[in-house]
Structure 1
Amino acid sequence: MRIVTIILFIVLCIAALLTPWFIPKEPAKEEDASVVAHLPPIPEVKTQTTMPEFSAMTDVSEKKESFFRFLLPMVEAENIRILHERAYLKDVYNRYKEGNLTAEDQQKIDEWIDYYRLEEDIEVDDNLFGLLKRRMDIIPEMMVLVQAANESGWGTSRFSRMGLNLFGQWCYVRGCGLVPKGREEDGRHEVAKFDSVNDSVKSYMRNINTHGAYLDLRLLREQKRLENEAITASDLIVGLESYSERGVEYIEELRAMIRINRPIVNEVRQQLDTEASSEAAPQ
Structure 2
Amino acid sequence: MKKDKTLSNNNVKNSFFSYLVGCFVLVLLFLVIVKQNELSIKLKEEQLAQIEKQEKEKRPLTILEKKQMFVKMIIKPLREVYDEEFAEYNRVSDLINSHENEEEIAALKVKYKAKNNEALLMALKPHPKSIALAQAAMESAWGESRFFKEANNIFGVWSFNKKEPRIAAGSQRGDKTIWLKKYDTLKDAIKDYYFLLSRSGAFRDFRVLNYKKEHQNPYLLVKKLHRYSEKKELYGKELSSMISYNKFVKYDEVHYKRFIPKDKNTQKQDKILDEAMIKKESASKKKEPQDNMEKIL
Report the TM-score range of the alignment, normalised by the length of the smaller protein: 0.5 to 0.7
| Aligned residue identity for 1:148 | A
Deviation at 1:185, TM superposition (A): 4.5
Alignment deviations for residues 140-171 of structure 1 (CA, whole Å, 9 cap, x no partner): 11100010011001111110011100000011
Work out which of the residue numbers 79, 84, 99 in structure 2 matches 1:81: 84
Work out which of the residue numbers 157, 172, 180 in structure 2 matches 1:191: 180
Alignment deviations for residues 23-56 of structure 1 (CA, whole Å, 9 cap, x no partner): xxxxxxxxxxxxxxxxxxxxxxxxxxxxxxxxx8
The equivalent of 1:68 in structure 2 is 71
Work out which of the residue numbers 108, 111, 116 in structure 1 matches 2:104: 108
Q: Distance in 2 between matches of 1:220 and 1:131?
A: 12
Q: Distance in 2 between matches of 1:162 and 1:170?
A: 14
Work out which of the residue numbers 162, 171, 179 in structure 1 matches 2:159: 171
Deviation at 1:70, TM superposition (A): 1.2
Report the RMSD for the aligned CA atoms in angstroms.
2.4
Contact 1:241/1:247, CA 8 A, preserved across alignment: yes
**Aligned pairs (5 A) from 1:102-181:** 105-118=101-114, 128-174=116-162, 176=164, 177-181=166-170
Deviation at 1:175, TM superposition (A): 6.2
Contact 1:134/1:218, CA 8 A, preserved across alignment: yes
| Aligned residue identity for 2:109 | I
- Per the alignment, in what secondary structure is the counterpart of residue 180 of structure 2? strand
Return structure 1 stretches of 4+ with deviation > 3 angstroms. Answer: none
The equivalent of 1:6 in structure 2 is none
**Aligned pairs (5 A) from 1:1-283:** 58-96=61-99, 101=100, 105-118=101-114, 128-174=116-162, 176=164, 177-187=166-176, 189-225=178-214, 230-262=215-247, 266=250
Contact 1:57/1:63, CA 8 A, preserved across alignment: no
- Flag the structure with larger Rg: 2
Contact 1:135/1:210, CA 8 A, preserved across alignment: yes
- Scaled by the length of structure 1, the TM-score of the pair is 0.63
CA 1:67/1:184 → structure 2, altered by over 3 Å: closer, same or farther? same
Q: Distance in 1 between matches of 2:107 and 2:60?
A: 42
Unaligned runs of at least 5 residues, structure 1: 1-55, 119-126, 270-283
Deviation at 1:128, TM superposition (A): 2.2
CA 1:106/1:223 → structure 2, altered by over 3 Å: closer, same or farther? closer
Greater shift in the superposed pair: 79-88 or 148-157? 79-88
Q: Distance in 1 between matches of 2:162 and 2:193?
A: 20
Aligned identity (percent) is 26
Alignment deviations for residues 180-238 of structure 1 (CA, whole Å, 9 cap, x no partner): 1221353254111111111100000111111111111111112334xxxx313211001
CA 1:173/1:188 → structure 2, altered by over 3 Å: closer, same or farther? farther
CA 1:106/1:140 → structure 2, altered by over 3 Å: closer, same or farther? same
Size of the aligned set, in residue pairs, is 194
Contact 2:223/2:236, CA 8 A, preserved across alignment: yes
- Per the alignment, in what secondary structure is the counterpart of residue 178 of structure 1? strand
- Scaled by the length of structure 2, the TM-score of the pair is 0.60
Contact 2:130/2:218, CA 8 A, preserved across alignment: yes
CA 1:131/1:59 → structure 2, altered by over 3 Å: closer, same or farther? same
- Per the alignment, in what secondary structure is the counterpart of residue 180 of structure 1? strand
CA 1:74/1:111 → structure 2, altered by over 3 Å: closer, same or farther? farther
Alignment deviations for residues 241-274 of structure 1 (CA, whole Å, 9 cap, x no partner): 01110112222211111111016x749x9xxxxx
